[in-house]
Amino acid sequence: MTTTHPAHKTSPPPLLAGFGITKRFGDLVANQNIDFAIQPGELHAIVGENGAGKSTFIKIVYGLLQPDEGHLEWQGKPVTFSNPLQARAMGIGMVFQHFSLFEALSVMENIALALPPDFPKQDLSALIARKSAEYGIPLNPETVIADLSVGQRQRVEIVRCLLQEPTLLIMDEPTSVLTPQETDQLFDVLHQLAKQGCAVLFISHKLDEVKQLTSRATILRGGVKVAEVETAKKTTRQLAELMVGDKVKGITADTKRKKGKCLYEVRGLIRPAFGPFDVALKGVSLKVHAGEILGIAGIAGNGQSELMSALSGEWRPDQNGMLFTEDTDISRLGPTGRRHLDLAFVPEERNGHAAVPSMTLSENALLTGYDEDGVVAKGVIQFDQTLAMAQRISKMFDVRQPSDDPLASALSGGNLQKFVVGREIMKSPRVLIVSQPTWGVDIAAAQFIRNAMADLARQGSAVIMISQDLEEIFEIAHSIAVLNEGKLSEIFESSKVTAEQIGLLMGESHDLTSGQIPPKTNRTSGKERGAS
């Protein structure tokens, strides 16, 4: 384990340094005595699982939180940021993980909101167009955010920071929503910035990217800095071990399985767009067989939620003939009817969709588990039975909970996700349909959830997994299809395609991947970029 003293005794002083940063929330110590330093022009990673204290730390750096102990130094002088405006005035820019953009406002209005009061008055529209083109990420200042893809939204955030000529740019999990091509493009921009002397603080748990982009990494685990390493000198596996603390268990899709019978089939599913931000489904067809995990890749906003609502029955087509489980036509059946046929669903949003935050775990277990034996007797809920059911789920799925039967809102994101996935898997459904099963979940919990889905498939169930995480799809899916602009690609054997190929399908006909996609769809790109 290598640790370096934060203040490198050489001159000049680091751009930003933290000394003994400690932050407590009640009994929880989110950051404990963290020392940290970043040099001008350095690409530095903060690595850690969810809950390791990364977010707390960068919020302190950005002035959203104040440390209980310890202090920050900017270019060798002690500073305190009591709010983000002060941090920005100093030259710190931040791109958030969940974008802090205003959907109903235009690109220009969004950027204007983030500018300091003393920003020179000028034609902001022209400035945005020029600056974004300069970095090869063209933007139209008049577009309303709601009409942009996730990748384009991130560009808005980046350009918003760049206009203030930052000397330190903080990127919080920036690649979690991007295709491989978009990620490469982002890294080009970041390298370009670093060359110009802007330091980049890159928060991530994707270790390949950390190695690819950054030169140093500070690794946090449980709120404590466990190491500061030169990323070139460590393997991804070593980084992962530092981050997780014990050996990482990897699983690989077992591709040598026999194809069972088809358990769920979609034939030419068409769903119109109901609102301005809906994506119409244009003739989606798929089949998933017993023992198979079908991964549906795609960038968010290409029809995932619409597809999920059709697969689960929350939205139903007007006529029969589109959705089947074995030989039963379920097109007109609602979610309850489909559950009775032994299908199970885990929607993407755990708070308020998969689970009711203000209800206890046992009540949440009851919401989809009321068919289980003994839970409801003659219409009366058997609370001891529901509690037992919830506790079985928690035990099986390693849900860490503060009390016997806590409110769902009392659980961390990862634990609640384990619970809602576990709740469905415990019923051993014939078909499990799950959307973004490990979104915002730490590595250990994500691994657990993926293992559970793989086990379910091994026992002969079929799994449809809609996910934006390509690594996840390649890890456990036997077959892969890509959802792009409401159309589903053909289904590929996962052993016969590469992440690169899938990434290309995901980016197709979006103007996100200028230069790397077939020229016919290249609408707005200003300059040619390196070939893939």
Partner 1 sequence: MFDDLLLTVLLTSIPLILAATGELVAEKSGVLNLGVEGMMLMGAVSAFGFASMTGNPYIGILGGGLAGMMVAMVFAVFVLGLATNQVATGLALTIFGTGLSGLIGAPLVGQAIDGLSALYLPILSDLPIIGVLFQLDALAYLAIIIVAVVSYVLNKTKAGLILRAVGVNHDSAHALGYRVLQVRFLAVCFGGFMAGLGGAYLPLVLTPHWAEGMTSGRGWIALALVVFASWRPGRVIIGAILFGGVTILQLVAQARGWGVPSQFLSMMPYFATIIVLVLISSRGRIQFGSPAHLGKNFLATR
Contacts to partner 1 by CB under 8 A: 59, 63-65, 83-85, 88, 96, 99-105, 109, 112-114, 117, 144, 146, 275-277
Rg (CA), the chain: 24
**For 376, phi and psi rounded to 5 degrees?**
-125, 120
What is the rounded CA–CA span in Å between residue 217 and residue 228?
6
> In the complex with partner 1, which residue's Cβ is closer, 149 or 385?
149
Shortest distance, position 272 Cβ to partner 1, whole Å: 13
What is the rounded CA–CA span in Å between residue 455 and residue 459?
6
Residues sharing a CB contact under 8 Å with residue 322, sequence separation 6 or more, in sequence order: 266, 267, 268, 269, 270, 331
Shortest distance, position 72 Cβ to partner 1, whole Å: 17
C-alpha dihedral (153, 155, 157, 161), degrees to nearest 10: -170
> In the complex with partner 1, which residue's Cβ is closer, 104 or 396?
104
Shortest distance, position 216 Cβ to partner 1, whole Å: 27
Contact 247, 452 (CB under 8 A): no
Shortest distance, position 317 Cβ to partner 1, whole Å: 20
> In the complex with partner 1, which residue's Cβ is closer, 100 or 382?
100
> In the complex with partner 1, which residue's Cβ is closer, 120 or 276?
276
Chain center to CA of 115:
27
Shortest distance, position 61 Cβ to partner 1, whole Å: 14
What is the rounded CA–CA span in Å between residue 495 and residue 427?
30
What is the rounded CA–CA span in Å between residue 42 and residue 215?
7
Contact 46, 202 (CB under 8 A): yes
Shortest distance, position 524 Cβ to partner 1, whole Å: 23
Burial class (CB in 10 A: 0-12, 13-18, 19+), 20: middle
> In the complex with partner 1, which residue's Cβ is closer, 63 or 301?
63
> In the complex with partner 1, which residue's Cβ is closer, 146 or 410?
146
> In the complex with partner 1, which residue's Cβ is closer, 121 or 233?
121
What is the rounded CA–CA span in Å between residue 472 and residue 421?
16
Shortest distance, position 104 Cβ to partner 1, whole Å: 5
What is the rounded CA–CA span in Å between residue 101 and residue 496?
39
Residues listed for the chain: 532
> In the complex with partner 1, which residue's Cβ is closer, 104 or 377?
104
Which of the 8 DSSP states describes residue 306?
Answer: H
Shortest distance, position 274 Cβ to partner 1, whole Å: 9
Q: Which two tokens stand for residue 138?
A: 């063209």
